[in-house]
C-alpha cells in the first residue's frame, strides 16, 4: 500500500518539537520517484533497545563490607534469583495444586499462526553423519532460562514504536515495513539469562519487576500472531521446538573489523606485477562523473557485526541434560553470542507445519510424552555415534 | 514516552498512536541541517565524538565497541552456575581421586586435546560432547594407537566395490585437527602412482583400522615424502602386521630421507624438518638459501615464550581433558569385557 503524503503541519510539528538531536543527512541515490532525499540520523540508531535505559553501571566498591560478607550477600542474591526462576518454571506450575486449569490453548491456524521464538546462545559446531553416510555439520545452541516479559498487541504498535525509536526508513522511503502497516502481528518481548541484580542498574531491574521476574541480561522481541500471544511470566523451554522442525536463526555476524574492499565487497583489486604502481588492493574509480559520490558507494569499512538470518535449518537433535539444540548447518555469530530462533518463514516449512502443528502457543508440561524425554532425541535420518552404519545395497 | 508534538492549527488529526511520521520534505531541511547532536535523555550515554573537518561527528557503535551481543566468560560461568546446565565436572572429579592418569591414555587419545585456538572460540560443553561422542564411536570400532610414520590398513564402505569394502594400506604422513574433526592421511604407491588418501577418523563409513607397524618419526608430518624417492613410501598391500606392546615406548625411526633434486613442492629447508638429510639438502641450495635455512634452524623459537604459549594447549585444560577421557576409557573397557 502506498503511503499517504505528509502534511505541512506535520513537518512544522516535527520542527517545533525539541528534537534538536535529529539531523538530516543526504540520502542514497534514489530509484523511485517517491523516495525522499533526506533521512534522519541520530546517535542511538544502531543500539539495541531499550537504549533509553542503561543496562550496566560501574560497580560500587562498598568499603564497609568484609570480603566474606560480600561473598555471602552475592550467594544470597544468586539464590533468590534461582528461587525466582524455579517458582515461575513450568514444573512449579504443574506441581501447584492451587493453580486453575489452564485456559483453552489456541489451535494452530494455517497461514495465520506465528509462534514466539526462543533466545539461544551459540556454543560451537559438532559434526554428525546421516544414515546414508553423508556428513552434516550441526551448530550447538544452548537454550537458557527465559520468560515472557511483555505482549504488545498489533493495535498498540504505533504507541510502542514511538518517535524516540526513529528508524531511517520511516523518513527516507515511502514504504514502511509490513509488520508495521499490516498490523497482523504483535511484539512479544522475551527476557533471557537471569543474573545477579548487582550487575545492573535499578532502571534495568525495574523493567522486569512489572512482570515479577528476576533481572535478565538479554531482552529480545519476536513478531507473533495474536492467537499465539503469551502473557508476562510465561515460561519458554527447550521443547518449544521438536526434532525435525525447520527454524530461522537470526544473529549478529562476526565482527571482522576494518576491512578493505577486496575482503568486504569482493572487488578484484589490481595486478600484483607487470608494472603495477601502488595499485594492488585498491578500489579504483569511485564513479563520480564530476558530481558527488553517491551515498552507499562500496568502500572500505567495518565488516560484519550485522544482523543476518540463516533460513530453514532443521533441528536434528535435542539434548535435555544441557538444554541443547543441534541445528543443521552454520549460523551467524561467534561462540557465546545470542541468537534468535523461530519457526521458519519459508513457505514449504509453513505448509509442513500446517500438516504437523507444533505445540501452541508454546510447550507446556502436559505435552510431555509418558516417561519424559530421553537425554538425547535424534532425528530418524541421523546416525548416533554408538550405532554402526548400514548402507542399503 | 515523549509528549506528542503539538500540531499547528488545523484539522490534521495527528495521532501518533495510529499514524506514523515518514518522509520529510526538503523544506524542513534548513531547520536540521547544522544542528549539533545532543540526546534529550540524561540517561543516554554521550556519543563518542571524532574530530574532523566537517564538524562534530560520532563514531558508529561497531567502531566504538559498544554493542557486543556476546556473553563474557564470567557471565557464562555465572549463567551455568545459576541454571545448573553447565559442563559436567563429575568425571574429572572422579579421576582426581584415583591415581595419576596413565601415560597410555595420552598416547591413545591424542585427539582428545582441545584445539589450539583463541579462548573466544572454545567452549567446555562442546569439547565434552566431542569427547563423549568419540568414546561412543570407539564402542563400535577399535581405533588403535598410531603416530605419523606408522603403517595402517583402513577399510571403508564402498558400494561400488566387489565386497562392498575398499581396503587401502599406507604410511601415515599427516594427522591433524582435534575431536570429531580428526583426520589422517595415508600414502602409498599403487601401480607406480603415488596415492594419498585423507580419512576422517570418526566417520562411520570406516569399517576397520588395522595397525600394521607402530612407529614414530622425527617430524610431525612427512609431507616432504612427496619430493622423495618412491621407495620411501612403497608398502606392500599384503604386509603382515608386526606385533607391538602397549607398555613399551613407541619406537622412533631416525632415518633421514634424501630428497629428489629441485624443483620441490615446498621450501622444505624452511620448516625445521629433522627427518631430511640436511647436508644433502643444502647441496641443492644456493649459499643465501642455506644461510636462511641455518638461521631458521638455530631454533629461536625455543626461546620465544609467546610462540610457545600460543601454540600449546594450556596444561590445566589438557589435564582436564585426559581425566575426562580416562574415566570414559575405563567404562569402555568394562563394556568390551561385557560383550565378550
Beta-carbon separation of A20 and B38 below 8 A: yes
Coil vs helix vs strand at B147: coil
User: Does the beta carbon of B333 lie under 8 angstroms from any beta carbon of chain A?
Assistant: no
Residue A3 has pLDDT above 70, yes or no: no
Residues B171, B275: contact at Cβ < 8 Å? no
Measured between beta carbons, the chain A residues lying within 8 angstroms of B12 are 7, 9-10
Nearest CA in chain B to A196: B78
Beta-carbon separation of B28 and A23 below 8 A: no
Residues A153, A226: contact at Cβ < 8 Å? yes
Residue A148 has pLDDT above 90, yes or no: yes
| Lowest pLDDT segment from A129-133, B48-52, B221-225, B316-320 | B48-52
Nearest CA in chain B to A218: B69
Q: Which cell goes with A197?
A: 541484580
CA-to-CA separations, B186 to B83, B108, B158, in angstroms, rounded: 46, 19, 18
The partner residue sitting opposite B24, judged by closest CB among A11, A387, A393, is: A11
User: Does the beta carbon of B194 lie under 8 angstroms from any beta carbon of chain A?
Assistant: no
Question: Average pLDDT, stretch B109-136?
Answer: 96
Residue with cell 519459508: A346
> Nearest C-alpha of chain A: how many angstroms from B98?
26
The partner residue sitting opposite B70, judged by closest CB among A156, A337, A391, is: A337
- pLDDT of the residue at A266: 93
Measured between beta carbons, the chain A residues lying within 8 angstroms of B26 are 36-38
The partner residue sitting opposite B82, judged by closest CB among A78, A159, A255, is: A78
- pLDDT of the residue at A94: 67
Ordered by start, the domain boundaries in chain A are 113-163+181-256+302-378
CA-to-CA separations, A278 to A260, A275, A288, A301, in angstroms, rounded: 15, 9, 22, 20
- B82 membership: H or E segment, kind and range: helix B73-83
Measured between beta carbons, the chain B residues lying within 8 angstroms of A138 are none
Residue B1 has pLDDT above 70, yes or no: no
> Nearest C-alpha of chain B: how many angstroms from A351?
33
Distance CA A171, CA B23 (A): 4
Question: Average pLDDT, stretch A218-243?
Answer: 94
Angle between helices B90-97 and B315-339 (to 10 degrees): 90
Q: What percent of chain B has pLDDT over 70?
A: 80
Mean of all residue pLDDT scores within chain A: 83
Beta-carbon separation of B157 and A133 below 8 A: yes
- Using alpha carbons only, give the angle A74, A77, A82 rounded to the nearest 5 degrees: 125
Nearest CA in chain B to A18: B40
Nearest CA in chain B to A253: B69
> Nearest C-alpha of chain B: how many angstroms from A162?
7
Name which of B13, B15, B20 to mutate to probe chain A: the one with the most chain A Cβ atoms within 10 A of its Cβ: B20
Q: Which cell goes with A27?
A: 540520502
Please report the beta strands in chain B, taking only residues with DSSP state E, as ranges in sequence order: 49-52, 55-58, 151-157, 165-176, 183-190, 193-200, 206-213
Beta-carbon separation of B79 and A5 below 8 A: no
Distance CA B291, CA A14 (A): 74
- pLDDT of the residue at B100: 87
Question: Average pLDDT, stretch A373-393?
Answer: 94
Distance CA A85, CA A92 (A): 10
Measured between beta carbons, the chain B residues lying within 8 angstroms of A157 are none
Q: B50 falls in which pLDDT band (50, 70, 90)?
A: low
**How much is the ipTM here?**
0.85
Beta-carbon separation of A6 and B25 below 8 A: yes
Residue with cell 603415488: B194
> Nearest C-alpha of chain B: how many angstroms from A62?
21
- B329 membership: H or E segment, kind and range: helix B315-339
Residue A282 has pLDDT above 60, yes or no: yes
> Nearest C-alpha of chain A: how many angstroms from B307?
24
Domains annotated on chain B, with CATH: 7-64 (no CATH), 73-140+299-340 (no CATH), 144-255 (2.30.30.790)
Q: A279 falls in which pLDDT band (50, 70, 90)?
A: very high
Question: Average pLDDT, stretch A251-276?
Answer: 92
Distance CA A264, CA A303 (A): 6
Residue A24 has pLDDT above 70, yes or no: no
User: Does the beta carbon of B70 lie under 8 angstroms from any beta carbon of chain A?
Assistant: yes
> Nearest C-alpha of chain A: how many angstroms from B263?
23
Beta-carbon separation of A385 and B202 below 8 A: yes
Q: Which cell goes with A282?
A: 585498491
Measured between beta carbons, the chain B residues lying within 8 angstroms of A23 are 32, 35, 37
Q: B61 falls in which pLDDT band (50, 70, 90)?
A: low
The model's pTM: 0.84
Helix, strand, coil shares, percent, chain A, to 5: 20, 25, 50
The partner residue sitting opposite B47, judged by closest CB among A43, A173, A322, is: A43
Residue with cell 510447550: A363
Name which of B29, B54, B70, B127 to mutate to probe chain A: the one with the most chain A Cβ atoms within 10 A of its Cβ: B70
DSSP B284: T
Measured between beta carbons, the chain A residues lying within 8 angstroms of B119 are none
- pLDDT of the residue at A327: 98
Residue B41 has pLDDT above 50, yes or no: no
- The answer to whether the Cα torsion of B80, B85, B89, B90 is positive or negative is positive
- The listed range with the strongest mean pLDDT (A33-37, A196-200, A364-368, B109-113) is B109-113
Nearest CA in chain A to B162: A393
Q: A224 falls in which pLDDT band (50, 70, 90)?
A: very high
The partner residue sitting opposite B39, judged by closest CB among A43, A123, A133, is: A43
User: Does the beta carbon of B2 lie under 8 angstroms from any beta carbon of chain A?
Assistant: yes
- pLDDT of the residue at A4: 37
**Where on the phi/psi map is residue A156: left (φ > 0), alpha (ψ -120 to 50), or beta?**
alpha
Residue A259 has pLDDT above 70, yes or no: yes
Top-confidence residue, A253 or A176: A253
Top-confidence residue, B218 or A29: B218
Nearest CA in chain A to B133: A385
**Where on the phi/psi map is residue B55: left (φ > 0), alpha (ψ -120 to 50), or beta?**
left
> For A25-81, how does the pLDDT look when each residue is reduced to its tens digit (9 = 90+)?
555 444 443 334 445 555 555 567 777 788 887 777 788 899 999 999 999 999 999
Distance CA A81, CA A194 (A): 7
- Note the Cα B322 to chain centre separation in Å: 17
Residue A355 has pLDDT above 60, yes or no: yes
- pLDDT of the residue at A165: 53
If you compute the radius of gyration of chain B from its CA atoms, what whole number of angstroms results?
31
| Lowest pLDDT segment from A212-216, B55-59, B300-304 | B55-59
Across A249-269, b (16+ Cβ under 10 Å) vs e yields bbbbbebeeeebbbebeeeeb
> For B155-181, how does the pLDDT look when each residue is reduced to its tens digit (9 = 90+)?
999 989 988 999 999 999 999 999 999
The partner residue sitting opposite A46, judged by closest CB among B24, B27, B60, is: B60
- pLDDT of the residue at B22: 34
- pLDDT of the residue at A193: 96
Question: Average pLDDT, stretch A95-109?
Answer: 73
- Give strand pairing partners of B193: B190
Residue B78 has pLDDT above 50, yes or no: yes
If you compute the radius of gyration of chain A from its CA atoms, what whole number of angstroms results?
25
- pLDDT of the residue at A295: 67
> For B240-260, how does the pLDDT look when each residue is reduced to its tens digit (9 = 90+)?
999 998 889 999 999 999 999
Distance CA B273, CA B257 (A): 10
Residue A372 has pLDDT above 50, yes or no: yes
Classify domain A113-163+181-256+302-378 by CATH number.
2.40.30.10
Question: Average pLDDT, stretch A194-200?
Answer: 93
Q: Which cell goes with B320?
A: 582436564
Cβ-based burial of A40 (10 A; exposed 0-12, middle 13-18, buried ≥19): buried
- pLDDT of the residue at A89: 77
Beta-carbon separation of A385 and B140 below 8 A: yes
Across A147-185, b (16+ Cβ under 10 Å) vs e yields bbbbbbebeebbebbebbebbeebbbbbebeeebeeeeb
- pLDDT of the residue at B6: 39
- pLDDT of the residue at B297: 76
- pLDDT of the residue at A55: 86
Q: A393 falls in which pLDDT band (50, 70, 90)?
A: confident
Distance CA B7, CA B13 (A): 8
Top-confidence residue, A364 or B154: B154
- pLDDT of the residue at B304: 87
Measured between beta carbons, the chain A residues lying within 8 angstroms of B198 are none
Size of interface A-B (CB pairs under 8 A): 252
- A377 membership: H or E segment, kind and range: strand A376-378
Beta-carbon separation of B82 and A335 below 8 A: no
Residue A175 φ then ψ, to 5° = -105, 125
Contacts 24+ apart (CB under 8 A), A180-186: A180/B20, A181/A1, A183/A154, A183/A155, A183/A157, A184/A154, A184/A225, A185/A114, A185/A154, A185/A223, A185/A224, A185/A225, A185/A226, A186/A151, A186/A152, A186/A153, A186/A154, A186/A156, A186/A157, A186/A223, A186/A224, A186/A225, A186/A226, A186/A229
Q: What string of DSSP letters covers B90-117?
A: HHHHHHHHSSPPPHHHHHHTGGGSPPSS
> Nearest C-alpha of chain A: how many angstroms from B168?
19
Question: Average pLDDT, stretch A274-289?
Answer: 91
Question: Average pLDDT, stretch A312-326?
Answer: 97
Beta-carbon separation of A171 and B204 below 8 A: no
The partner residue sitting opposite B130, judged by closest CB among A8, A17, A126, is: A126
Amino acid at each position: 500500500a502506498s503511503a499517504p503524503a505528509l502534511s505541512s503541519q506535520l513537518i512544522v510539528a516535527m520542527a517545533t518539537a525539541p528534537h534538536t538531536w535529529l539531523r538530516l543527512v543526504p540520502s542514497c541515490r534514489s530509484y523511485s520517484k517517491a523516495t525522499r532525499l533526506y533521512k534522519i540520523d541520530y546517535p542511538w540508531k544502531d543500539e539495541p533497545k531499550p537504549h533509553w535505559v542503561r543496562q550496566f553501571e560501574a560497580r560500587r566498591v562498598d568499603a564497609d563490607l568484609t570480603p566474606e560478607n560480600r561473598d555471602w550477600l552475592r550467594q544470597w542474591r544468586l539464590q533468590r534469583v534461582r528461587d525466582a526462576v524455579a517458582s515461575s518454571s513450568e514444573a512449579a506450575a504443574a506441581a501447584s495444586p492451587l493453580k486453575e486449569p489452564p485456559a483453552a490453548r489456541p489451535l494452530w491456524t494455517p497461514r495465520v499462526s506465528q509462534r514466539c521464538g526462543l533466545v539461544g546462545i551459540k556454543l560451537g559446531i559438532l559434526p554428525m553423519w546421516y544414515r546414508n553416510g553423508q556428513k552434516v555439520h550441526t551448530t550447538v545452541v544452548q537454550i537458557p532460562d527465559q520468560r515472557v516479559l511483555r505482549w504488545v498487541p498489533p493495535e498498540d504498535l504505533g504507541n510502542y514504536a514511538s518517535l524516540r525509536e526513529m528508524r531511517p526508513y520511516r523518513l527516507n522511503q515511502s514504504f514502511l515495513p509490513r509488520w508495521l502497516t499490516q498490523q497482523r502481528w504483535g511484539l512479544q518481548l522475551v527476557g533471557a539469562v537471569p543474573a545477579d541484580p548487582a550487575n545492573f542498574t535499578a532502571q534495568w531491574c525495574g523493567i522486569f519487576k512489572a512482570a515479577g521476574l528476576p533481572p535478565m541480561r538479554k531482552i529480545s522481541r519476536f513478531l507473533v500472531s495474536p492467537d499465539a500471544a503469551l502473557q508476562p511470566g510465561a515460561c519458554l523451554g527447550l521443547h518449544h521446538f521438536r526434532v525435525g522442525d525447520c527454524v530461522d536463526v537470526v544473529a549478529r555476524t562476526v565482527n571482522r573489523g576494518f576491512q578493505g574492499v577486496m575482503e568486504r565487497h569482493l572487488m578484484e583489486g589490481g595486478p600484483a606485477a607487470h608494472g603495477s604502481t601502488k595499485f594492488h588492493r585498491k578500489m579504483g574509480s569511485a564513479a563520480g562523473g564530476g558530481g558527488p559520490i553517491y551515498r552507499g558507494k562500496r568502500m572500505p569499512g567495518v565488516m560484519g557485526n550485522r544482523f543476518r538470518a540463516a533460513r530453514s535449518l532443521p533441528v536434528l537433535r535435542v539434548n535435555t541434560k544441557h538444554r541443547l539444540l543441534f541445528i543443521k548447518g552454520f549460523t551467524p555469530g561467534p561462540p557465546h553470542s545470542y541468537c534468535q530462533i523461530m519457526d521458519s518463514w519459508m513457505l514449504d516449512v509453513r505448509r509442513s507445519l500446517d500438516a504437523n502443528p507444533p505445540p501452541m502457543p508454546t510447550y507446556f508440561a502436559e505435552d510431555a510424552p509418558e516417561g519424559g524425554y530421553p537425554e538425547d532425541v535424534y532425528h530418524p535420518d541421523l546416525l548416533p555415534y554408538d550405532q554402526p552404519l548400514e548402507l542399503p545395497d | 514516552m515523549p509528549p506528542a508534538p503539538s500540531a499547528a492549527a488545523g484539522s490534521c488529526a495527528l495521532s501518533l498512536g495510529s499514524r506514523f511520521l515518514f518522509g520529510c520534505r526538503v523544506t524542513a531541511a534548513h531547520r536540521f541541517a547544522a544542528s549539533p547532536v545532543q540526546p534529550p535523555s540524561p540517561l543516554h550515554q554521550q556519543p563518542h565524538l571524532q574530530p574532523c573537518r566537517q564538524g562534530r561527528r560520532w563514531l558508529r557503535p561497531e567502531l566504538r565497541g559498544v554493542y557486543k551481543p556476546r556473553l563474557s566468560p564470567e557471565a557464562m560461568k555465572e549463567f551455568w552456575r545459576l541454571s545448573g546446565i553447565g559442563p559436567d565436572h563429575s568425571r574429572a572429579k572422579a579421576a582426581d581421586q584415583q591415581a595419576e592418569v596413565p601415560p597410555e591414555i595420552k598416547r591413545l587419545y591424542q585427539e582428545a586435546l582441545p584445539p589450539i585456538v583463541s579462548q573466544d572460540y572454545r567452549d567446555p560443553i562442546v569439547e565434552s560432547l566431542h569427547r563423549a561422542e568419540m568414546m561412543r564411536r570407539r564402542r563400535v570400532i577399535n581405533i588403535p594407537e598410531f603416530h605419523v610414520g606408522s603403517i595402517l590398513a583402513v577399510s571403508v564402505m564402498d558400494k561400488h566395490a566387489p565386497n562392498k569394502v575398499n581396503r587401502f594400506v599406507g604410511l601415515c604422513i599427516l594427522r591433524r585437527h582435534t575431536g570429531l574433526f580428526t583426520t589422517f592421511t595415508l600414502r602409498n604407491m599403487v601401480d607406480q602412482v603415488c596415492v594419498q588418501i585423507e580419512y576422517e577418523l570418526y566417520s562411520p563409513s570406516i569399517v576397520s583400522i588395522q595397525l600394521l607397524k607402530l612407529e614414530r618419526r622425527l617430524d610431525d608430518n612427512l609431507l616432504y615424502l612427496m619430493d622423495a624417492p618412491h621407495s620411501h613410501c612403497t608398502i606392500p598391500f599384503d604386509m603382515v602386521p608386526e606385533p607391538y606392546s602397549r607398555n613399551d615406548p613407541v619406537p622412533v625411526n631416525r632415518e633421514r630421507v634424501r630428497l629428489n633434486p629441485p624443483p620441490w613442492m615446498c621450501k622444505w629447508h624452511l620448516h625445521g624438518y629433522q627427518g631430511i638429510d640436511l647436508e644433502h639438502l643444502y647441496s641443492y641450495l644456493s649459499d643465501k638459501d642455506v644461510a636462511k635455512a641455518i638461521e631458521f634452524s638455530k631454533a629461536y623459537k625455543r626461546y620465544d615464550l609467546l610462540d610457545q604459549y600460543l601454540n600449546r594447549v594450556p596444561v590445566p585444560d589438557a589435564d582436564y581433558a585426559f581425566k575426562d577421557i580416562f574415566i570414559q576409557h575405563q567404562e569402555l573397557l568394562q563394556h568390551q569385557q561385557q560383550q565378550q
